[in-house]
Amino acid sequence: MSSSEVHYERRGAAAVLTIDRPARRNAIDAAAASGLRQGLEAFEADEGARVLVLTGAGGEAFCAGADLKAIDLDVDDPAGPLGISRLTPSKPTIAAVDGWCLAGGLELALWCDLRIATPQSVFGCFERRWGVPLVDGGTQRLPRVVGMGRALELILTGRAVEAEEAERIGLVNEVTAPGAHIERSLELAERLAAFPQETMLSDRRAALEGAGLPLVEGLELEHRLGREVLHVAARGAARFAAGEGRGGEGV
């Protein structure tokens, strides 16, 4: 799958989905939103692709949000105005961020499970300055990532957050060397792909779906999903008993 604005490429166990509108700082118009949706569908259908890496082309911006000059996004799209923001992928996702990650671009990064960024990256709810609401999951995902107090500060003030602070507050999982964001994301993708998939995906689902549940219900969900993959655990335990993984090997 490839379009003039969004490209899908397999690289090892990862699928790399690239927003390619550098002249607009990779801001999303209707065509790009459609490309993102097609890219997600291709990833879900690609059994060999175990991790999705989402990034932006050009080296200046991951994504500057909705293209406010186009103003052609569908706010009522069940998949979200940016094409994917109201959907939950069944497999892990990583945002490889280099440069500006603003407004809807921040919401796309939050849509991912993990965020890897370069030192020059800058995050922020800059739509606050123009009276544009967060409608691609930011009000729901940001508190889950950094906590309600910090999330409200960023949402209300719209201030810029540089990479070092973003890592400190948990908005970013890792800051890489300049230009190394995609390489590091692919390394991480291969590491995730090497684990037994059934239990990893089950644990991921329990964490995501249990986030908004009362503790008792969350524990019930974890129990139900865990029981469904106990056969994988039995095989893993047998491998450990046979001598694999001693001293943290393979972790």
pLDDT for the residue 232: 74
The residue to which tokens 């969350």 are assigned: 218
Per residue in 192-206, pLDDT (tens digit) is 999 999 999 999 999
> Does pLDDT of 57 surpass 60?
yes
pLDDT in tens, 228-238: 998 876 675 55
Residue 183 appears among annotated catalytic residues: no
Which residue is catalytic, options 5, 107, 167, 222?
A: 107
- Given a cut of 80, is residue 64 above it in pLDDT? yes
Question: How far is the C-alpha of 150 from the C-alpha of 131, rounded, in Å?
Answer: 20
Q: Global pTM? A: 0.92
pLDDT value, residue 234: 65
For residue 79, give the amino acid letter. Answer: A
67-71, 82-86, 92-96: which range is least confident on average? Answer: 67-71
DSSP count for the chain of H helices, then E strands? 9, 10
- Domain 6-193, second-level architecture: Alpha-Beta Complex (3.90)
* Residue of 9, 60, 127, 244 with catalytic role: 127
Please say if 60 is a catalytic residue. Answer: no
Q: Where are the domains of the chain?
A: 6-193, 196-248
Give the Cα separation of 62 and 98 in Å (integer).
6
**Average pLDDT across the chain, whole number:** 93
Q: Is the pLDDT of residue 244 over 60?
A: no
pLDDT > 90 fraction of the chain, expressed in percent and rounded? 86
Q: How far apart are CA 153 and CA 161, in angstroms?
A: 11
pLDDT digits 0-9 by tens, 37-51: 999 999 999 999 999
- Taking residues 145-162, report their average pLDDT: 98
